[in-house]
Each structure stands twice: as C-alpha cells, then as structure tokens.
Amino acid sequence: MNISLTLLMALPLIGAAVLAALPKSNALLAKQVALASTILVALATIAIAVGFERDNTNLQYVESHQWIPSFGINYAVGLDGISLVLILMTTLLAPIVVLAGWNESQSGRWSTKTFYILILILEMMAVGVFAATDVFLFYVFFEAMLVPVYFLIGGYGTGERSAAAVKFLLYSLFGGLLMLASIIGLYVLSGAQGGHTFDTQALSHLQMSSTTQNLLFLGFFIAFAIKAPLWPFHTWLPDAADSATSGTSVLLLGVLDKVGTFGMIRYCLTLFPDATKTFTPTIIVLSVISIIYGAFLAIGQKDIKRLIAFTSISHFGFITMGIFAMTTQGHSGATLYMFNHGFSTAALFLVAGWMISRRGSSTIADFGGLQRVTPVMAWSFFFAGMSSLALPGLSSFVSEFLVLVGTYTRYPVAAVIATFGIVLAALYILIPVQRALHGPTTPGNENLSDLTLREKVAIAPVIAVILFLGFYPSPLLKVINPAATHVISQLGFSDPAPTQLGGK
C-alpha cells in the first residue's frame, strides 16, 4: 500500500468536508464521522511507519511540487525518524481525544460539527508542520494552526475562555512574527548565494556572519520557546490549559507544543549550527530553570488543570535540555520524551477532564476520597500521575533517564540540578493524588459515577502504550536513533568518551 504524506493530510480534510456537509442537528453522526476519520488517519500513519526504512537517514516519503515559483516556494514534505515519531503520536492521540471528549463540545458557542471540523483541520496542520521540508510551508502551517486552536479555546472552553484564547494568540503571534523576520532573512541570504530558496536542506549550507546567524537563530528560537513553552515564555500556557476543554488541552500541550521542540531540532540546530553552539549554555540554563520552576509552580497550584500545565513546563525543560545536550542519549531521549509526554499528558488531562465534568469543579480541594467512590477513574488518574513522575517501568522513565544521563556526560551540573526535579515530581503528583483520591469522601462526591465503557475504551490504549514503551521502547528508539545521531554528527559533536577509560 502506497500512502503519501499528502494523502495523509488529505484524509482529515476529507473528513472535515464530510462533516461540513452534515446537518447541524445530528451531533451524534458528526462525532461518529470524526471518530472514523481520525481512526483512518491513524491507520494510514501506521502504514507509513511500517514502510519507513529506519536505518536510512535520508528524508523519506519525499514529495516536492512548485507552489509559488516566483519566490522559490515549494510544497515539499518528507520524513525522518523524528518527524515520523511525532506524526505517529499526533494521529494516534487524535481518535483518543475524539472518543474521550465525546460530549465536551456541548457547552460550546458553536455546533458539534464545527468542533470536530476544527479538530480535523488542526490534525491535518499538525501533520503538515512536522512533515514540511520547506521553511515557508512550515511557517504557513505553524501560523495557521493558531486559528483552529483559537476557536477551540474561545468557542468551546470554560471560564475566561476568550481572554485565554487571545493571550495564547498574541504570544504565538509575537513569536511567529520574529520567526517570519528570520525566514525573510534566510531567503534574502539564499538569493545572494546562488538562488532564492526555502528548502531546509539547501538553507543549511548558507554562509552567514556570526551576528547574522545569531540574530536569525534567535528569531526561530524565541518563536519555538514560546510554543514549547520554555521559561520565561510560559505564562500563556496555564491560562490556555485552564480554559480549554481537556481534549483541546491534550492537542495543545501534547501535540502543538511539540512543534516548538521539534522546530528547535529541525530549524535551530540544522540551519544555525554555530549560533546553536553560542546559545547552548544559555538554553541549558533556561531548561534547568523550567524543570525546577515548573515543578515548584505545579506544587503550588490549587486547580488541577493549571497543575498539569505546569508539570508540562517542567517536562518541556527536560526536552530542551536533552536537545541541546548534544549527545545521542540526550537527543534520542528528548525525541522519545516528546512522544511519551504526549501520552502521559493525554492520560492526565483526559482523566482530569472526566473528574472535572462529573464534579463540576476543577479545584483540587473539591475532590476527596475518589478511590473508594470511582475506583477505575481514580486508578486511571493515579497511573497517569505515575507516568508523569517517570516511574521506572513506564515509558516516561526511559526518556527522562536518557535525557539526564545524556546531559550528565556533557553538562553534569545541569543534569544534577535537573535530577532534583524527580523529587519535586513526586510532590506535585502525590499531593493532588492524596487530596483528590485519598482521605474520607468529601461531601458532594458520594454519588459520582465511575468511568463509562466509552471512557474506558479511550483511556485503555493510552495506558497500554505507556506500559509497553516502558519495558520495550526499542521500536521507537530504533526509528529515532539514526535521525538523532545524524543531527548530532552534522553539528560536529560526538558523545563524550568515558572519562576514566581514556588511557586504556
């Protein structure tokens, strides 16, 4: 079976078109179409993954068509191991999000079918942003993705959803404009050096003065740091996660934020190797701050959604630290971390969403004793928490430990400070676990219902993936390793040799 990336992007659009043709009144049918479409996309991605040659470091599934020839803009897509893993994560999570949030479009400003049209368009753009190999195309997806998210938060969220949506938009917009300036700069430079192009690989061979390179690097990096988000560019995230529905939060934190860390690898490192080296110490410091700061802020939260958002800030600190540690362990670990964080955060947000919709509150103190009222829901939340604190045996442990050990060999102090994050993680998980699940049942919670069959079906694959990859991460690592090694060696780095065995 030959599935192209274009077809993969077309599938959700076709689903969206079918949805658009449906009558507004039939919400159930809209949900079913959305679910079928996302499942189809997931199956198509699996077919692509099966056909992917994992030891081949060249881009695969490459397609390139002229788009705006006068500007040298191409519709060009292709996959390496890193983008494949992220697309796989995106399309596997999408049907789970649809199924888990079956009823979350009801309190929206617009119809159910519009909700799922937005989700499908977002999915298509997420695939596009990871697959693009033309900087301009990447930029278009990067910016256009904001629109469906904006409407998903502003139209279907809760609380101060409008303000949160706007905040999200302005932050992203600010970053996007900086990136745009850098892209124009690259384009101008390429014109002076043999012909205008937006092709990522061609751009990576540009000659630049170090000042130019640093400035262009920063344009990209700040945009990605906002997206990721890295401290101190993070303040939009808790508000957005607080207001978004839990399904939207999964897509926002689990998928969209990865565009930031993915962009660092694909654009910052590849296009600006010298600037990368210049800024690496700063970025490592910001990452460590994110890890510890995000964890402390998570500990201090009273609202379950904001808490999860801050845990993600801590986790993204690990990811950026791994990326910039410039070791194969750090780099592979960071990419694996992106995938694992997607599932781990999905589990946390989805279960938290179910808890919140049942209780009618997202304040942690309003829960209590759920373990004995709704055992399956409580256990799912506990499991998600264990995944978030990277318990060995679960997938996040593998990636977190790889990042730490990979960072330690080059930046021991950063790794040591970051490791304190594992104690803080125990606190930010076990405190809400105790308040929400343990203790006597808080009045008002006695009659909460446990997970429905649909919800169990939605969470089971997430749990299965987290467990499976905890013990057997090889299927993903074998895809990631060649790409990660390639990126590191392109930058001229090799792993530090064991310090004590040099003379042997």
| 460-499 binders of another protein (CB under 8 A) | 471-474, 477, 481, 484-485, 495-499
Neighbours of 194 (CB within 10 A): 10
Residues of this chain, 350-379, that bind another protein according to CB under 8 A: 369, 371-372, 375
Q: How far is the CB of 268 from another protein (least distance, A)?
A: 20
Residue 135: partners with Cβ closer than 8 Å, 6 or more residues away: 183, 186, 198, 199, 200, 203, 267
Interface residue with another protein, options 287, 332, 395, 396 (CB under 8 A): 332
- Residue type present at position 194: G
- Report how many residues bind another protein under the rule CB under 8 A: 90
Interface residue with another protein, options 431, 442, 448, 493 (CB under 8 A): 431
Confirm or reject binding of residue 187 to another protein (CB under 8 A): yes
CB 308 within 8 A of CB 348: yes
Q: How far is the CB of 251 from another protein (least distance, A)?
A: 20
Residues of this chain, 4-43, that bind another protein according to CB under 8 A: none
- Residue type present at position 221: F
Neighbours of 430 (CB within 10 A): 15
Q: Which of 378, 284, 357, 382 is nearest to 326 (CA)?
A: 284
Nearer to another protein, 52 or 493 (CB): 493
Phi-psi sector, 74: left (phi>0), alpha (psi -120 to 50), beta: beta
Residues of this chain, 440-459, that bind another protein according to CB under 8 A: 440-441
Q: How far is the CB of 71 from another protein (least distance, A)?
A: 5
CB 46 within 8 A of CB 475: no
Token output for 404: 């730490």
Residues of this chain, 52-81, that bind another protein according to CB under 8 A: 70-71
CB 109 within 8 A of CB 134: no
Nearer to another protein, 122 or 415 (CB): 415
Q: How far is the CB of 129 from another protein (least distance, A)?
A: 16
Local structure of 220: helix, strand or coil: helix
Phi-psi sector, 393: left (phi>0), alpha (psi -120 to 50), beta: left
Local structure of 66: helix, strand or coil: strand
Residues of this chain, 123-182, that bind another protein according to CB under 8 A: 143, 150, 154, 162-163, 165-167, 169-171, 173-174, 176-177, 180
Among the residue ranges 124-132, 215-223, 347-355, 429-437, the one whose residues contact another protein (CB under 8 A): 429-437
Nearer to another protein, 95 or 263 (CB): 263
Confirm or reject binding of residue 219 to another protein (CB under 8 A): no
Q: How far is the CB of 138 from another protein (least distance, A)?
A: 13
Interface residue with another protein, options 417, 427, 448, 491 (CB under 8 A): 427
CB 276 within 8 A of CB 263: no
The rounded Cα 98 to chain-centroid distance in angstroms is 17
Among the residue ranges 31-39, 78-86, 269-277, 428-436, the one whose residues contact another protein (CB under 8 A): 428-436
Interface residue with another protein, options 3, 285, 422, 491 (CB under 8 A): 422
Residues of this chain, 379-408, that bind another protein according to CB under 8 A: 386, 391-393, 397-398, 401-402, 404-406, 408
DSSP bridge pairs for 65: 75
CB 45 within 8 A of CB 92: yes
Token output for 367: 């829960």
